[in-house]
Amino acid sequence: LDPEEFRRQGYMVIDFLADYYRNVEKYPVRSQVKPGYLRERLPESAPSDPEPIETILEDVQNEIIPGLTHWQSPNHFAYFPSSASIAGILGETLAAGFDVVGFNWMSSPAATELETIVMDWLAQMLSLPKSFMFAGNGGGVLLGTTCEAILTTIVAARDRVLHRIGRESIHKLVVYGSDQTHCSFHKSAKIAGIHPNNIRKIKTTKSHAFGLAPESFRLAIEEDLELGLVPLYLCATVGTTSTAAIDPLGPLCDVAKDYRIWVHIDAAYAGNACICPEFRQYIDGVEKADSFSFNAHKWFFTTLDCCCLWVKDPNALVKALSTSPEYLRNKATDSKQVVDYKDWQIALSRRFRALKLWLVLRSYGASNIRNFIRKHVDMAVLFQGLVAKDERFEIVVPRFFAVVCFRVSPAAILKQLYSSCHQHCPKSVGDDSVNDVNQELLESINAGGRMYMTHSVVDGAFVIRFAVGASLTERRHVISAWLIVQEHAHAILGRKNC
Ligand code: PLP
């Protein structure tokens, strides 16, 4: 690794990325390539001789960029955001540059210690109780994804209970979520050895805004107890993936406490907003939970991957996940004065993720990060207002954060059918037809490439999600996005005949 060559190529890569950001708005937001496009364009085998960075970057421009969906485009309103920032990208670069493998304290003390400090700082910003912080005998860890946070905490809860009731009872353990809980919960439970029949997806309803009703949770537990099963774990969500719905944490934790159930709170997306005092209420009750996680790589201007997990009882993680091969033995570990994060996660090796979070926190400061998030929410409010003013559309669920769920209303479709009717006009329009219109609308917008949104289906209704959160998005992008939606809706409704 020649430092001068590194400097030369490094400048070129940063220049390349700076140009990418300058031009990102010009690219079609959703990639327009066909499956297999890249195999057609790249050689069949790896080059046997070195190639210059100039040629490689040319190929990144010509072959790779067309196959990117531009998450950092100001017109990306799909999924949940992935908000990059200068500090996030450069923090990632620094960590990659050092390339330390911080599995335990000794393997890179700064990596471990910075992580404990940053996790305590974040806990303070979220007003988490002291019991989640190192000073309160809890603590935080940076993982890659929420899936890992759920898996590690299920495994910790599982082993704690199996220690009491015997390993042979694993088939009796039951875990609970709602029909809105992210699929990573199901996957994690399966990996943790929970029998697939014992993974509950409790039904939510529109009348509870798709939050998990505590009484439904209690009912499910009681039914399982009657069957001789052992309730283990609840994954409650603040900001569900479909509609950003909120499970009522306090009452759910109260139910869980009666049955000694581990409660994990998955606030992958919405947890970011909870650093703002006005949104903190949505995690009220967190003080009664066992663990809490959010993805800083979603809405905290930190690059993927960066999931922040806090637990009240790190020992439960360590008991379930610790390994102590001879080659890792060292005095610091033996002294029990240090955190060895390898025992808080699945893998042994780990990245120096704390560096990018530290850069983000220091470069912007808590108040600016809060203001960025508020600006995104304000833009979602703006979009919601535009939707509400157009009688052809309806808002499907209440908006809490920066996601607006909307659709062309059944009434608008019926009205269109009437206006084109010559004889036997229907009295109502079926759910499938409404869904078809909305699906067609979304696909036609996304195929155009000027903006990108995604959908969900709740209570049988196909819903279009408009999620604001890209770092470059401004009000003008939101306004033009709405004009695009109207333009496509006009064309599609105009083609509907009775
Ligand atoms: N939980 C929620 C509520 C999510 O919205 C998502 C992803 O969008 C996840 C979990 C999965 O996160 P990850 O990809 O970090 O596992």
Distance between CA atoms of residues 370 and 125, nearest Å: 10
Question: What pLDDT score does 363 carry?
Answer: 98
Strands 291-295, 262-266: pairing kind: parallel
What is the best residue among 143, 146, 237, 305 to mutate for testing ligand 1's pocket, by most ligand atoms within 8 Å of CB? 146
CA 305 to ligand 1: nearest atom: 15
- Which residue lies with its CA nearest to atom 14 of ligand 1? 145
DSSP-derived secondary structure letter, 227: T
Query: Are 417 and 461 within one domain?
Result: yes
Query: Are 410 and 474 within one domain?
Result: yes
Query: Are 138 and 225 within one domain?
Result: yes
Query: Are 296 and 164 within one domain?
Result: yes
* Burial of 256: CB neighbours in 10 Å, binned 0-12, 13-18, 19+: buried
Kindly state whether residue 360 falls inside one of the protein's structural domains. no
- Which residue lies with its CA nearest to atom 5 of ligand 1? 241
Kindly state whether residue 77 falls inside one of the protein's structural domains. no
Query: Are 298 and 378 within one domain?
Result: no
Distance between CA atoms of residues 344 and 311, nearest Å: 10
Distance between CA atoms of residues 372 and 470, nearest Å: 10
Instruction: Kindly give the distance from the C-alpha atom of residue 195 to the centroid of ligand 1, in angstroms, as a whole number.
Output: 22
Query: Could you count the other beta carbons within 10 Å of the beta carbon of residue 54?
Result: 9
**CATH (domain of 401):** 3.90.1150.10
Domain stop point among 305, 320, 351:
351
CA 145 to ligand 1: nearest atom: 15
Identify the domain containing residue 484 by its residue range: 371-494
- Bridge partners, residue 295, by sequence: 307
Instruction: Kindly give the distance from the C-alpha atom of residue 235 to the centroid of ligand 1, in angstroms, as a whole number.
Output: 12
CA 240 to ligand 1: nearest atom: 3
Q: Alpha carbon 338 to chain centroid distance?
A: 30
Q: Which of 238, 241, 194 is nearest to 212 (CA)?
A: 238
Q: Which residues line ligand 1 (CB under 6 A)?
A: 80, 145-147, 182, 184, 237, 239-241, 266, 268-269, 295, 307
Kindly state whether residue 167 falls inside one of the protein's structural domains. yes
Question: What pLDDT score does 138 carry?
Answer: 98
Contact 19, 27 (CB under 8 A): no
Kindly state whether residue 363 falls inside one of the protein's structural domains. no
Strands 461-467, 454-458: pairing kind: antiparallel
Instruction: Kindly give the distance from the C-alpha atom of residue 183 to the centroid of ligand 1, in angstroms, as a whole number.
Output: 8
Is the ipTM above a cut-off of 0.95?
yes
Kindly state whether residue 41 falls inside one of the protein's structural domains. yes
- Which residue lies with its CA nearest to atom 11 of ligand 1? 146
**CATH (domain of 311):** 3.40.640.10
Instruction: Kindly give the distance from the C-alpha atom of residue 376 to the centroid of ligand 1, in angstroms, as a whole number.
Output: 19
- Bridge partners, residue 403, by sequence: 467
Question: What pLDDT score does 388 carry?
Answer: 97
Query: Are 117 and 233 within one domain?
Result: yes
Indicate the number of domains in the chain: 3
Question: What pLDDT score does 415 carry?
Answer: 86
- What angle do the packed helices 86-98 and 354-389 form, to 10 degrees? 150
Contact 88, 353 (CB under 8 A): no
**CATH (domain of 66):** 1.20.1340.10
- Rg from Cα positions in the chain: 25
Phi and psi angles of residue 209, each rounded to the nearest 5 degrees, phi first: 50, 35
Query: Are 190 and 238 within one domain?
Result: yes
Place of tokens 């009452």: 251
Instruction: Kindly give the distance from the C-alpha atom of residue 152 to the centroid of ligand 1, in angstroms, as a whole number.
Output: 15
Contact 438, 431 (CB under 8 A): no
Domain stop point among 351, 380, 404:
351
Query: Are 334 and 416 within one domain?
Result: no
Q: Alpha carbon 21 to chain centroid distance?
A: 23
Kindly state whether residue 89 falls inside one of the protein's structural domains. no
CA 80 to ligand 1: nearest atom: 8
Question: What pLDDT score does 416 carry?
Answer: 82
What 3-state class would DSSP assign to 193? coil
Locate the DSSP E strands across 108-261.
139-143, 173-178, 199-202, 230-237
Kindly state whether residue 81 falls inside one of the protein's structural domains. no
Distance between CA atoms of residues 373 and 380, nearest Å: 11
Q: Which two tokens stand for residue 369?
A: 């990060």
Residue 417: HSE in the Cβ half-sphere, 13 Å Cα cutoff: 18
Query: Are 227 and 334 within one domain?
Result: yes
How does DSSP assign 368-410, residue by residue? HHHHHHHHHHHHHHHHHHHHHHSTTEEE-S---SSEEEEEE-H
Question: What pLDDT score does 427 carry?
Answer: 73
Contact 118, 133 (CB under 8 A): no
Strands 139-143, 307-311: pairing kind: antiparallel
What 3-state class would DSSP assign to 262? strand
Locate the DSSP E strands across 267-421.
291-295, 307-311, 393-395, 403-408
- Residue-by-residue pLDDT tens, the chain, 498 positions: 999 999 999 999 999 999 999 999 999 999 999 999 999 999 999 999 999 999 999 999 999 999 999 999 999 999 999 999 999 999 999 999 999 999 999 999 999 999 999 999 999 999 999 999 999 999 999 999 999 999 999 999 999 999 999 999 999 999 999 999 999 999 999 999 999 999 999 999 999 999 999 999 999 999 999 999 999 999 999 999 999 999 999 999 999 999 999 999 999 999 999 999 999 999 999 999 999 999 999 999 999 999 999 999 999 999 999 999 999 999 999 999 999 999 999 999 999 999 999 999 999 999 999 999 999 999 999 999 999 999 999 999 999 999 999 999 999 888 888 777 666 677 778 889 999 999 999 999 999 999 999 999 999 999 999 999 999 999 999 999 999 999 999 999 988 876
Q: Which residues contact 321 (CB under 8 A, 6 or more apart)?
A: 152, 155, 156, 343, 344, 345, 346
Domain stop point among 322, 351, 380:
351
DSSP-derived secondary structure letter, 246: B
Helices and strands (H, E) in the chain, number of each type = 17, 11
Instruction: Kindly give the distance from the C-alpha atom of residue 142 to the centroid of ligand 1, in angstroms, as a whole number.
Output: 15
Query: Are 346 and 384 within one domain?
Result: no
Query: Are 375 and 235 within one domain?
Result: no
Instruction: Kindly give the distance from the C-alpha atom of residue 185 to the centroid of ligand 1, in angstroms, as a whole number.
Output: 9
Query: Are 323 and 217 within one domain?
Result: yes
Strands 461-467, 139-143: pairing kind: unpaired
* Burial of 391: CB neighbours in 10 Å, binned 0-12, 13-18, 19+: exposed
Q: Which two tokens stand for residue 388?
A: 């509400």
Question: What pLDDT score does 423 carry?
Answer: 67
Instruction: Kindly give the distance from the C-alpha atom of residue 389 to the centroid of ligand 1, in angstroms, as a whole number.
Output: 32
Contact 470, 71 (CB under 8 A): yes
Distance between CA atoms of residues 202 and 260, nearest Å: 19
